[in-house]
Structure 1
Amino acid sequence: MNEQKKHPMDMLKSHLEKILNVIPPGSKIYFLDYPLYTNVGDLLIWKGTEQFFEKHDISVKARYSVINFPNDLEIPNDHIIVFQGGGNFGDLWKSHQRLRELVIKRYPNHKIVILPQTIFFKNKNNYNKSKRLFNKHNDLHIFARDKQSFKRLEGFSKNIYLSPDMAHELWPLKTTANPSKNVLYLLRQDKELNKNVEIQPDRIKVTKDWINLLTTKDKKVVQEIREEYKRLGVSDAASWIKFSDYLIDKAISLFSNHQEVITTRLHGHLLACLLNKRNTFYNNSYGKNVEYYNAWTHTVQYTTFVKE
């Protein structure tokens, strides 16, 4: 009897095991740059990361976001500094890159690991300046999320690896909902908006983005947590972990109520894949989406990528 063919999403999830070569099971870590904001895509990355840590007995001793990282933080030498993955490595989302550069300068003798990232710099001077700084660190390990990012990281470190996004650790996400609606349009409206993408206007009845998941009350809660964490320098993130789970559940519920997803967001695509849902995927402003699709999710049969 032939062995049942492995699902492509199982194979993508198994790729994450390579990270254990750099962060071995049982490691003690400080986890930095977790998303203390409402981008559900980044929250999915974070949840997958935390699940990966728990599965492999990786002990998170403290968590800090970009808004509450202390100026005088002492980190034991036997603890690995680990950064959240995502799509903010470069000069488009500057606060996150500033934190990485600060930590690399401040902790030259610690092992530092940056989980899977897409790399993009608009300005070549910024790119070269960052490369010189990163290259000075002797124990820096960077995971690239696609082949183009892998090439762009040449010269940043001797330790560059290729890995899919940490959200794949969440596979498979289960839902009991029976889709009552046809198509969900999840279209980004921020600085990564691709103005060259045209989706037939007459096909769109209602469009959403991650921000539409939040009620007025939700936004108030988010602001209160952010202010508290910034003021107190909170390092456990307990209340935000609980609230971010609530936001992810809202996103899963939204997706589960639709038969198909059409999206310009990478994690709109990935959430659909995690739910085993048919989806159509368009590019962002600088090619992140197509690079990820070409590297990894082109193997997922129920996904279609629309070229410009």
Structure 2
Amino acid sequence: MPPGGYAWWYIDGISDDGQQGITLIAFVGSVFSPYYCWAGRTDPENHVALNVALYQTSGGRWSMTERGRDALSRDVSTLAIGPSRLSWDAGGLTIHIREIGAPLPRPLRGTVRLRPNALQGRTFDLDDAARHQWRPIAPGARIEVEMSEPGLSWSGHGYFDHNRGGEPLEAGFARWDWSRSDTPQGTLIQYDPTARQGGDRLMSLMIRPDGGIDEREAPPKVPLPPTLWRLERATRATPEMTPRISRNLEDAPFYARAMLATRMDGKEVLGVHESLSGDRLKAGWVWPFLPFRMPRAF
């Protein structure tokens, strides 16, 4: 991986009743790491982390401990970061979580299993120079969450993708909005990046349960309410979809995650929406805010 490069594997899930959620992101060359930034981004494998975010109606938990290269181990089927690991086999992806939360040091321990409906092998360039790429590995899946700390168990709709890049994220993009929603036809993905150079690679994809991709003309941009940090958000939707934020999940100075409710074929469907400001990352004023939620294990 080149200096300044990154790779991440992203998993999310929403319970069948819509009351609970989880996001897991395994980073190599952590794009949101102040330590990687302050170190000049010369050694991606010395800045690795597993981000775990649990969302419940009565609260949630968060962890994102960064570790050095001695904590990283990987082969064709396993990625281990410290005491946690992701393993792939014929049944799907299994994530063994052994982390400590932040800022409150509470344990997060458990197992998450993701069983894809179908695998998707296509990789999409997010910029004209192909410095940033995205692959929706398993956009439609079932997810099973079994946590001993905190004690909870649920299942629901899951999603799994992979991003990689050869330069810092904020070098390539001024901002982006992304969403995925489980619909009666499959998984609807709206990817709306604003590149710093070249054309914007706006995508509106319906990925069917069999893995086939229907590329669609993107609907009009629809503004969503800004966050408490006044981060602008938007999605792509037709008027009858009536998109709305049903629940805010993360609100950081440069990044926001939320549950997005829309209507498809007369039914309300839930999904996940993310907004990122590369401009705020590039400006640099956000980095000192981050270590209290992203400690580094030395």
**Structure with the greater alpha carbon radius of gyration:** 1
Q: Scaled by the length of structure 1, what TM-score is found?
A: 0.27
Q: Scaled by the length of structure 2, what TM-score is found?
A: 0.27
Q: Which has the higher helix share?
A: 1
Higher relative contact order (CA 8 A, sep 6+): 1
